[in-house]
Amino acid sequence: LTLGCFLNPEFTLGQSSISDNPNTITFILVRHAEKADNSPNTNLSEAGKSRAQALAKLLSKVKVDAIYTTSLNRTQQTAQWVAEQNNLKIQTYDMDSKFPTMTDKLAKKHAGKTILIVGHSNTLPVNIARLTKKELSIPESEFDNLFIVNLYDDDTTQLLQLKYGD
C-alpha cells in the first residue's frame, strides 16, 4: 500500500485489506461528514452526502468487516454507502461510554479484521489516543480527516492520517 494512492481523490484502494498481516486489526476512523445544521440530530448536508460517497469510493476495494457509529443521523448517514457496498449492518456505540473499554472490546471482537468507526470531533481523538497513545485534536470545521490505525499482534501501532473528499 503506497501513501501516494491516498493523495489522489480519484483513487480507490486496490486491495482487499489495508494490512498484509492477518493478525493485524485495522481501525479506519472518520468524523461524520458535513451536517445540514447545528441541531442535535441533524442529517448530512449535500456536501456531507458527497463526502460520504467519496468515503465509500475510497474504501470500495477494502473489505470492511464491521462498522460502528453513534446513534446520531449524521454518523449513520456517513457510513451508509460503505455499509451497503460491504453488505454490513451499522452497529451503534454509546458516545458517552468509556472509550478505552469500547476500543478494547472491538479489538478483541474483531481480531484480524478491518473496522470502520464514524464518530465526532470530540470522540475520535479519545479513541485514537487509546489505540496509539498519541494525542491529537480535530477542529470543529474539519470533516475530511481519515485515520488508519493498525494494531499489531505485538501491541505496537501505526497511525496514518489522510484527507479525503473535496
In this predicted structure, what is the pLDDT of residue 52? 98
In this predicted structure, what is the pLDDT of residue 95? 72
In this predicted structure, what is the pLDDT of residue 22? 76
Question: Which range marks the domain in which residue 30 is found?
Answer: 4-163
CA nearest 127: which of 108, 147, 155, 153? 147
In this predicted structure, what is the pLDDT of residue 6? 39
In this predicted structure, what is the pLDDT of residue 96? 67
Question: Is pTM, for the whole model, over 0.85?
Answer: yes
In this predicted structure, what is the pLDDT of residue 99? 58
In this predicted structure, what is the pLDDT of residue 107? 86
What phi and psi, each to the nearest 5 degrees, are found at residue 3?
Answer: -70, -30
In this predicted structure, what is the pLDDT of residue 115? 96
Judge contact between 45 and 36, C-beta under 8 A. Answer: yes
Number of domains in the chain: 1
Map grid coordinates 448536508 to a residue.
45
| CATH value at residue 35 | 3.40.50.1240
In this predicted structure, what is the pLDDT of residue 97? 59
Q: Which residues of the chain have pLDDT under 50?
A: 1-17
